[in-house]
């Protein structure tokens, strides 16, 4: 039985691009099926039997990967940049699979950025109707009072449409500077920056600290990690994606930095070795923090064991010293005070000859 699927859906599920962008690629004539250019939307194909190419490169299914990157400032959240600036591709190259960002994050904004090769997952979270919460921490110059907070929470005009009011509250104050927590349910272009300008404030620093409940609290800047199974289950419950959650889909864990700050390939269920050491066992790799804690506990236990053995050896040494002293004391003590020889023990040759000499001497005296 032939399993035909719409071409744009195949491209999205293979991580080529989002569903909408895949449609654009088809219309632009950049997609071939069995060597023939296809420009008609809705064309159905069988990905198991037909060869699909985008810009001359064959499209294949890879293991689904979902990661979160702690994006630094000064990095483009795109796959390429005409000005040759650093992009998120440079920070996730060692994932081993091509992943694309879910939504965007401004060049000068740091923080949470999800990346995946699951096009349905990306479009499901980035579509405005999903209402995914995006939480920002903004440092502004100026004192924020109730009137300013009301302006920050109001709806503004962006791209000929009104924005959904944001939730804003003061996180802390530092003299004439204020840290604000701002939560949006949509992703208009430069929305936080425009809100701050609308309130008459000057933005000093901006970071996204949460996206759909995913954070990067323990993740160093420029590093990435896989989403946990629990995080994927929560996303599926709240937003309907990913379609399936399996432990085996978590093929990688946190990247290890190199000199360039890029994460390195991590062990996992796709190509590496699992936590138990069996290839492809489907077990979730341990987090670096948990592994470090276990190694520290193990080292502490080994240290305690070594200390115990040392103490035991010291006690044995003391006991040996005590026995030696007791023996020395026995040799120097009066004859009557010496400990009784063990029953059945043979006297030493030296002591036996001395006894015979004394016996002969006493016999001679008796004869006289």
Active site members:
106
φ, ψ of residue 286 to 5 degrees: the values are -75, 150
Phi, psi of 179 (to 5 degrees): -100, 130
Name 51's Cβ contacts closer than 8 Å, sequence gap at least 6.
32, 33, 34, 35, 58
The Cα 289–Cα 351 span in angstroms is: 71
Distance CA 229, CA 284 (A): 8
Q: Which sign does the torsion angle of CA 29, 31, 34, 39 carry?
A: negative
What are the DSSP calls for 85-140, one per residue?
A: --BHHHHHGGGSS--EESS---TT-EEEEEEES-HHHHHHHHSGGG---EEEEEEE
- Collapsing DSSP to helix, strand or coil, 307 comes out as helix
């Amino acid at each position: 039985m032939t399993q035909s699927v719409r071409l744009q859906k195949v491209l999205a599920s293979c991580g080529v691009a989002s569903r909408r962008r895949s449609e654009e690629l088809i219309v632009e004539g950049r997609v071939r099926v069995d060597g023939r250019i296809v420009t008609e939307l809705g064309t159905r194909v069988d990905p198991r039997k037909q060869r699909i190419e985008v810009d001359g490169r064959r499209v294949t299914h890879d293991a689904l990967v979902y990661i979160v990157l702690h994006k630094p400032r000064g990095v483009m959240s795109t796959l390429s940049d005409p000005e040759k600036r650093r992009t998120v591709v440079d920070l996730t190259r060692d994932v081993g699979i091509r992943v694309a960002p879910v939504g965007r994050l401004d060049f000068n904004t740091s923080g949470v950025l999800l990346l995946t090769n699951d096009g349905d997952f990306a479009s499901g979270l980035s579509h405005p109707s999903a209402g995914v919460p995006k939480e920002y921490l903004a440092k502004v110059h100026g004192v924020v009072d109730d009137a300013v907070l009301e302006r920050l929470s109001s709806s503004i005009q962006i791209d000929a449409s009104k924005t959904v009011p944001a939730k804003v509250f003061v996180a802390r104050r530092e003299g004439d500077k204020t840290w604000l927590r701002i939560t949006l349910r949509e992703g208009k272009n430069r929305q936080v920056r425009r809100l701050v300008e609308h309130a008459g404030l000057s933005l000093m620093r901006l970071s996204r600290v949460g996206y759909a409940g995913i954070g990067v609290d323990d993740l160093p800047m420029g590093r990435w990690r896989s989403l946990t199974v629990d995080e994927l289950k929560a996303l599926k419950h709240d937003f309907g994606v990913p379609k399936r959650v399996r432990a085996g889909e978590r093929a990688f864990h946190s990247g290890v930095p190199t000199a360039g700050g890029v994460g390195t390939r991590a062990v996992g269920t796709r190509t590496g070795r699992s936590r138990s050491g069996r290839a492809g066992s489907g077990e979730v790799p341990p987090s670096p923090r948990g592994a470090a804690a276990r190694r520290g506990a193990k080292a502490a236990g080994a240290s305690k064991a070594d200390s115990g053995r040392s103490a035991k050896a010291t006690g044995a040494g003391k006991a040996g010293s005590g026995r030696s002293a007791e023996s020395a004391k026995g040799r120097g003590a009066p004859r009557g005070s010496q400990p009784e020889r063990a029953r059945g023990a043979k006297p030493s040759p030296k002591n036996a000859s001395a006894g015979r000499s004394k016996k002969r001497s006493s016999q001679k005296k008796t004869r006289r």
